[in-house]
Every structure is written in C-alpha cells, then in structure tokens.
Structure 1
Amino acid sequence: MTTEQVIFNNVSFRYAEDQPWVLKNVNFSIKQDEWVAILGHNGSGKSTIAKLMNGLLFPDEGEIYVHGIKVTPDTVWDVREKVGMVFQNPDNQFVGTTVRDDVAFGLENRGIDRNIMIKRIEESLLSVRMTDYLLHEPHRLSGGQKQRVAIAGVLAIQPNLIILDEATAMLDPRGRKEIMTTVNDLRRETKVNLVSITHDLNEITGADRVIVMNDGEVWLETVPRELFKQETALRQIGLDVPFTAKLANRLQTDFEFSQQPLTQKELLDQLWTFHSNK
C-alpha cells in the first residue's frame, strides 16, 4: 500500500487559454504523516497548488491524486472529505454567529450525529486553546484567535490533510509563531498530513521537507537545513532566509558548524560547544 497521500504528476495549469501557464509540468509527492512546506514569491504558483489539491481548480494537463483519489469534477466532494483548508483571511471562513456555531458548521454539513458533534467541537477547541471563547462572536476575536478557530473548524471534520494557504500572513510575528507551534503540535498528536503554503522561511523550520516554486516550476526540493545554505540563490528568486541562518552563514568562515542551525538556540549551542572545545 502506497504511503503517498498527495501526488502531482506532470501538472500544468493556466487560468485562461490566452494567459501564460501558472504551473508548468509540476511533479512531487507527499508521504503519510509528512509536513511539507511549499515556498515561493508572489506569482510563483504555490497558492494555485493549494487550490488544485482541494479541487477548487482542476489541472489543464497532468493528474493529481489525494489520498488515493484522482481529483476530478466528479470526485471533488470525496476529495474535500479528506482535505481541510485554512486560508489567509479567517473572516472569509466564518459563517456562524458564535465560535461554537462556526466550528459546528462543517460537521452539520456532513450530517454528523449531535453527540459526536459536541465531542468534536470540545476536542478541537481544546486543541487550539480556545475553549474559553465558545460563545464569543468570531468577529470580535484577535487575528490569532480567529485563525485558531478556523483551524479548530478544520480539525473537527478530521481530515487526512490540512492545507495552510498563507494562513499566518495577516498575523504579527508572535501570532505567526503561536499558530505554527499549535499546528505542528497537532500534527504530531493526530498524525495528519500538513502542507503549508508560504513565502516566509521563518515558518518552515519544523517542516520535514520543502518544495520551492519559481515561475510555475519546482525550483528545488530539499530539507530546511540545506535550504538555508542557499541564501544567495534564494535571494535571486525573491526569497530571504531567517536572521539566524544569515548569521550562521556569515560565521561559516570562522566556525565549522556540525549542521546548519535552524533556531537561535541551535546556533548558540554550537557556538558554545566550539568555544568550550578550544
């Protein structure tokens, strides 16, 4: 039995016949329990990939499989049973007058039994630390709280795959860090697949693998540690590495790191070890 939960096979897409290709012969796969970050500058095709995974768009050429199901107009609702998507602006996802009603919406659409529904609402809000806001109006919440509720709504339907499509773009740095920490913790607990679409390399340090898009094509597939060594090449395609990686790259002439530091703690630990051994 294959462990590949998402497969893009020679996928090309454009929004109209007289427009340029947004994606050109894209190939990649995502394995079970894997967190894959898809990076790229604006217009690189990364958000189009997210919409194709969820059946919001369909490829002009090639094939897409999600959890063993080929994505077509005939199978789109089966695919969406497997996929939960969190968008950049959570306000666009809210339909309920309270947090509880909003999380319940997807469950009601699936005809989930009321007792099961109540349990899932409680569990999903507990997972994102929003149980105290059960009866709050969503539009009165902060940006980070709104995204937590949006994530809870996705978790409640128990998808096999969660897609974060620039889901932290409207948050401040602290809010971004909290959301990514929450989602990564949930991924470990629930074994759900995670795909994060972003242009912010600070968000990908915990990812298992990174796919970098450039002008509609896969520019590079690698892991975060190796990616952060590509500072000059990334800058040429409109991306920038985190400060910690920049500092580590500058220090490479004086220090021999055992591995590329991903966090400030890793950088400091390696510098301390280097000095201690002198």
Structure 2
Amino acid sequence: MSSKLVEFKDVSFRYGEEQPWVLKNCSFEIFENEWLAIIGHNGSGKSTIAKLMNGLLFPQEGEIIINGKQVNEANIWDIRKDVGMVFQNPDNQFVGTTVQDDVAFGMENRGIPRDEMIRRIDHTLAAVNMQDYRFTEPHRLSGGQKQRVAIASVLAIFPQVLILDEATAMLDPKGRKEIMQTVSNVQTSQKLSLITITHDLQEVVQADRVIVMNAGEIWEEAKPRDIFGKKDALRKIGLDVPFIGILADELKHAGIAISHEPLNHEELLEDLWTLHLKT
C-alpha cells in the first residue's frame, strides 16, 4: 500500500473568534499517487481544506502533516515546495508576459539553474499540450488554455501534491472535459497525489476516492461508485446528481435491470448492450 503523504488530524478552523466553525474535527489521509476528490456545496468547507493544506491558512485546532512535516509558519515554504495549487480563476495566477515566462516564474524564485528551467518548461508544457503557445501572451488564451498553463506552472516546481480548487468552475462543458482529461493524464504520467475540489459530481468519476463535505464535517468517504449510489441523500445536502445516474434510475424503475451504478455513458451503454444480447 502507498505511504501517507497528507494527514489531517482533528482539524477545526474558523475565520474569527466570533465566527462559526467552517471545519469541525476533520480527520482524513491522502496517499502517494492517489487521486482524491473533495466535493460539497458552497460553504461546506472544501476550499478551506485546500487553503489549509497549502499553508494559506492555519487551523485553530488539530494538526496537518504534509510529507512528514507539520504545516506551520516556521516551515511554510518547505510545505509549498511539496504542495502546488491551481485556483478557480487562472488570471489571478499569471505574472509573466508570455506563457514561457509564467511557467518559469516559480522556478526562478527557487533558484533553479537556467538549463534545468528550460527542460522543465518543455516538459510541463508538453504534459498539458500547450507547447505551441510558449511565446503567446496569457491574455490571448481561452479559459481552458489558461488553466492548462496554470497547471504547467505548478508542475514545473515538481510538487508531490497538486490541488485543483474549483479549477473548472469558469469553463464551459467542453473546456471542463478537456481540463479533466489533462489532469488525468498528468496524474498518471507525473505520479503525484492529486486533489480535486469541486461541487460537480461529474468531475469525480476518475478519482480513486471521494470525500463529501457538509456543514464543515466529513459526511461520507468512499469510492465514486458508492457515492453515486446515494442520490437521495446527496440531494438533501445540496448536491446535484449526474444525469447518467438519474437516467439509470429511470431505466431501473421501468423494469430494465441495470447491473450496477454506472459512472459514465460508456458503462451504461455496455450494460444495456449486455442486456440486449441476453434477450
């Protein structure tokens, strides 16, 4: 089994002494090379988890361990070498005048030699299929292309953990699909731990494990298929069920014996085709 890379131990957080707790006694682990999805409605605490993991915030109670090091102000820069983060709006992360300059920025701050920087720029832009845009000004890119560059900029510092905090929220359906495919390819090729934070259940299909947040607490932790099987309960906590799950339920109610909870159209079609061959 892979070793633990991230640990949350009874973590609680609030944005002020008079404010309600945003997180309440949260405990979970993330393992090397694992894809973990954290989902929940707005205000459930999922984005606060991301900021705590990257040292943008610190818990009032409990502790967070990243790669054997406790997250605190004394070692925050060491933590940020291990944890990279991509936010909802990529424009907030751009600092360079060209795509190449932007990818180089984080490496320059870490004193990485020029030859190594050039090698990493080539490698990371190829990983997100943006090598043909290296001299393009970021503001000329589409939303999906900007997010690809933001991902490349983080990958260039060789993090062990990559966090995407609502990174597809501003994209159209085609852009979302492309980014999630890029993320899947990167996670496989780079062998890093990936954490995707979203309110969209359709984005968790490829994850190894899902944590569902509700009112600052862990509501459920399971594999995607098991999470998708709790449609009514998910609706009660404000999460939209993917269309494919709704369609599968309607088919079951119509007497069509779908054998399992489908995660995508391909699985549903395979089930229907198998049933057709048996009749």
* TM-score (structure 1 length as normaliser): 0.98
Give, as a single letter, the amino acid of the residue that structure 1 aligns with 2:270.
D
Following the alignment from structure 1 to structure 2, what is the Cα–Cα distance between the partners of residues 249 and 65?
41
- Unaligned 5+ segments in structure 2 are none
Aligned pairs for 1:63-82 (under 5 A) are 63-82=63-82
Q: Give the match for residue 242 of structure 2.
A: 242
Q: Secondary structure at the match of 1:24?
A: strand
CA RMSD in angstroms, aligned pairs only? 1.1
Q: Secondary structure at the match of 2:94?
A: coil
Following the alignment from structure 1 to structure 2, what is the Cα–Cα distance between the partners of residues 93 and 114?
22
Q: Give the match for residue 275 of structure 1.
A: 276
Q: Does the CA contact (< 8 Å) of 2:84 and 2:163 recur in 1?
A: yes
Aligned pairs for 1:70-149 (under 5 A) are 70-149=70-149
Give, as a single letter, the amino acid of the residue that structure 2 aligns with 1:195.
I
Identity between Structure 1 and Structure 2 (%): 63
Q: Give the match for residue 193 of structure 2.
A: 193
Following the alignment from structure 1 to structure 2, what is the Cα–Cα distance between the partners of residues 250 and 8?
39
Where in structure 1 do 4 or more consecutive aligned residues deviate above 6 Å? none
Give, as a single letter, the amino acid of the residue that structure 1 aligns with 2:96.
G
Q: Does the CA contact (< 8 Å) of 2:46 and 2:213 recur in 1?
A: yes
Q: Give the match for residue 202 of structure 1.
A: 202
Q: Does the CA contact (< 8 Å) of 1:229 and 1:249 recur in 2?
A: no
How many Å apart are 1:21 and its aligned residue?
A: 0.2
Following the alignment from structure 1 to structure 2, what is the Cα–Cα distance between the partners of residues 187 and 61?
31
Following the alignment from structure 1 to structure 2, what is the Cα–Cα distance between the partners of residues 27 and 263?
30
Q: Does the CA contact (< 8 Å) of 1:99 and 1:138 recur in 2?
A: yes
Moved more, 244-253 or 130-139: 244-253
Q: Does the CA contact (< 8 Å) of 2:251 and 2:258 recur in 1?
A: no
Q: Does the CA contact (< 8 Å) of 1:257 and 1:270 recur in 2?
A: yes
Following the alignment from structure 1 to structure 2, what is the Cα–Cα distance between the partners of residues 185 and 241?
25
Give, as a single letter, the amino acid of the residue that structure 2 aligns with 1:265.
E
Give, as a single letter, the amino acid of the residue that structure 1 aligns with 2:266.
K
Q: Give the match for residue 252 of structure 1.
A: 252
Following the alignment from structure 2 to structure 1, what is the Cα–Cα distance between the partners of residues 256 and 47?
38
Q: Secondary structure at the match of 1:252?
A: helix
1:26 matches 2:16: no
How many Å apart are 1:2 and its aligned residue?
A: 7.2
Give, as a single letter, the amino acid of the residue that structure 1 aligns with 2:250.
R
Give the length in aligned residue pairs. Answer: 278
How many Å apart are 1:68 and its aligned residue?
A: 1.2
* TM-score (structure 2 length as normaliser): 0.98
Following the alignment from structure 1 to structure 2, what is the Cα–Cα distance between the partners of residues 133 and 275?
47
- Deviation per residue, 1:179-225 (Å, 9 max, x gap): 01111111111110000000001111000000000000000001111
Following the alignment from structure 2 to structure 1, what is the Cα–Cα distance between the partners of residues 11 and 2?
20
- Deviation per residue, 1:110-156 (Å, 9 max, x gap): 10010000000011001111111111110111000000000000111
Following the alignment from structure 2 to structure 1, what is the Cα–Cα distance between the partners of residues 250 and 11?
38
Following the alignment from structure 1 to structure 2, what is the Cα–Cα distance between the partners of residues 198 and 186?
18
- Deviation per residue, 1:85-107 (Å, 9 max, x gap): 00000000000000000000000
How many Å apart are 1:256 and its aligned residue?
A: 3.0
Q: Give the match for residue 219 of structure 2.
A: 219
Give, as a single letter, the amino acid of the residue that structure 1 aligns with 2:67.
H
Give, as a single letter, the amino acid of the residue that structure 2 aligns with 1:185.
N
Following the alignment from structure 1 to structure 2, what is the Cα–Cα distance between the partners of residues 240 and 67?
34
- Deviation per residue, 1:19-60 (Å, 9 max, x gap): 000000001111111100000000000000000000000000
Following the alignment from structure 1 to structure 2, what is the Cα–Cα distance between the partners of residues 245 and 174?
20
- Unaligned 5+ segments in structure 1 are none
Give, as a single letter, the amino acid of the residue that structure 2 aligns with 1:9.
K
Q: Does the CA contact (< 8 Å) of 1:98 and 1:135 recur in 2?
A: yes
